[in-house]
Amino acid sequence: MVRFDIFFVFCLLVKTESKSNFRFNQNQRSGDCGWDSCNPTLPGKVNVHLVPHSHDDTGWLKTVDQYYYGAHQEVQRAGVQYIIESVIKELARDETKKFIQVETGFLWRWWESKDDFMRNLTLSLINSGQLQFAGGGWSMNDEATTHFLSIINNMEFGINWLKDNLGECSVPDVAWQIDPFGHSKEQARLFAEMGFKGLFFARIDYRDKAERKSLKELQMIWEGGEPGDLEQSIFTGVFDDHYSAPTGFCWDIICTDEPINDDPSLQEYNVDTKISEFVKTVEEKVKYYKDEQHIMFTMGDDFTYQNARQYYKNIDKLIKNMNSRTDETGIHVLYSTPSCYIKSLSEGKVEYPTKSDDFFPYASSADSYWTGFYSSRPSIKLLERRGMRDLTVSQQLEVASRGSGSSILFNMRRYLLHIKENVY
């Protein structure tokens, strides 16, 4: 089995230019995982792909350790071990449910503490396509101030760990960069060369997003190389708002939205109200996209699904009640993943616009430019550069000495790659 490594990426970077029209990458993984596991859509309807996810920063307001264990809740109510644990148990209850795991650095910690029963249960969910991976890097790297070798190292380390420990079905086929503050054409090129089917993110300049919404150009073919070089281009989708759930439909313990009360004998029965709100949201958002038969809703946010039972129970009610009125509303709702969403888009005949430059600079609103990280925190940037230099030398020495991978090098890479997301 060919491993994903730095040398493989370097070989890909010298590919010749392709002159054929862009087509979605149709390569599928072996077994029944991936695209074969997608829940069915309905032709002629607006299919709303609900994607349960949790964005778990590998260091932000708390340290990586504090985030994983849930320490210092007064700083931020976040404990990643509870997210992964409760999601796994919920997926096992219902084969239609889906979830995407993104940050490999947190999954590694959780996996190391589990017994054979929990590991085998997790593997069965991966092989069935219920638990899918997006991105797959050790962390979700910054794109503005990180050297390309560090980006490659981050992806190689995370994806190799997934493949070596969780099997072929765990290898991601969609890039997921939802939180970096601006996006680089070079990052798009690297993702295209790595074989990803698509790339999704949320943060672009607020004026650019408004214009793209009006022109239905939130989805595009991003040319990471020279114009017309389709082998270095990737289908790219920008969320019309943020990467959170639509307003009124977040149901984790850290959310404040009202749950769906489906008992008509109770005074606070609200199914009709919730359905009306959801239909209005779909009708508002679908007009921003060229393919109006498929739209993706990111059902999650920072550190959500700490109580996955609470979240999934309400999504189940939403799906049940929405689909009971499909003939009336023209809307069909399903559990999905970014891979399944791209599969549905690839079956259409929509032509997408192209983009050939960066998504920099990034401004979230007037007078709010996120460009300070180019010059801020110089000490941590220097630490990362020197650390990556020393790691590269150590890896070369290990290869020269025919070493098999030491725990020292593993931990060194782990420490360095936790800096990637927060180097700004």
d(CA 167, CA 164): 6
- For 39-73, the pLDDT digits (tens) are 999 999 999 999 999 999 998 899 999 999 999 99
Confidence of residue 419 (pLDDT cuts 50, 70, 90): low
How far, in Å, CA of 10 to CA of 15, rounded?
Answer: 10
Boundary of a domain, candidates 374, 390, 407:
374
For residues 159 and 40, state if they share a domain: yes
At 179-205, the pLDDT tens digits run 999 999 999 999 999 999 999 999 999
Residue where one domain finishes, among candidates 374, 396, 412: 374
Whether the link from the prior residue into 353 is cis, omega within 30° of 0, is: no
pLDDT of residue 424: 46
- Token output for 160: 């190799």
Q: Are residues 389 and 331 in the same domain?
A: no
Provide the β-strand partners of residue 297: 50
Name the one residue in this structure whose structure tokens are 């392709």: 18
Q: Is 179 a residue of the active site?
A: yes
Asked if 111 and 385 touch (Cβ cutoff 8 Å), the reply is no
pLDDT at 22: 67
What confidence category does residue 412 fall into, taking pLDDT thresholds of 50, 70 and 90? Answer: confident
Asked if the model's pLDDT at residue 208 lies above 70, the reply is: yes
Q: How many CB atoms lie within 10 A of CB 198?
A: 25
Question: What is the reported pLDDT for 416?
Answer: 78
Q: Which of 179, 205, 252, 301 is catalytic?
A: 179
| Contact criterion met (CB below 8 Å) for 241 and 375 | no
Cβ atoms of residues 395 and 238 within 8 Å: no
Neighbours of 276 (CB within 10 A): 12
Residues 362/181, Cβ–Cβ less than 8 Å: yes
3-state secondary structure 288-322: CCCCCCEEEEEEEEECCCCCHHHHHHHHHHHHHHH
Per-residue pLDDT, averaged over 257-278, amounts to 97
The band of 239, judged by pLDDT with boundaries at 50, 70 and 90, is very high
385 burial level (CB within 10 Å; 0-12, 13-18, 19+): middle
With contact defined as beta carbons under 8 Å apart, do 45 and 184 qualify? no
Q: Which of 84, 95, 88, 104 is nearest to 165 (CA)?
A: 104
Q: Over range 376-380, report the average pLDDT.
A: 84
pLDDT of residue 328: 97
Instruction: Please check whether residues 72 and 172 belong to one and the same domain.
Output: yes
148 domain-assigned: yes
| Residue 294 lies inside a defined structural domain of this protein | yes
Q: Which domain holds residue 272?
A: 31-374
- Segment 160-177, tens digit of pLDDT: 999 999 999 999 999 999
6 domain-assigned:
no
Q: Does residue 3 lie in a domain region? A: no
Q: Are residues 88 and 233 part of one domain?
A: yes
Among 177-186, 215-224, 321-330, 377-386, the minimum mean pLDDT is found in 377-386
pLDDT computed for residue 414 by the predictor: 84
Is residue 312 included in any domain, yes or no? yes
* Residue 406 clears pLDDT 50, i.e. is over it: yes
Quick count: other Cβ atoms within 10 Å of Cβ 35? 19
pTM for the full predicted model: 0.90
Residue 58 and residue 184 in one domain: yes
Considering the domain architecture, whether residues 174 and 55 belong to the same structural domain is answered as: yes
Residue 412, domain member (yes or no): yes
Domain limit, last residue, from 354, 374, 394 = 374
Co-location of 265 and 406 in the same domain: no
For the segment 375-382, the average pLDDT, to the nearest whole number, is 84
Mean pLDDT of the chain: 90
SS3 149: helix
Q: Give me the mean pLDDT over the 128-149 stretch.
A: 92
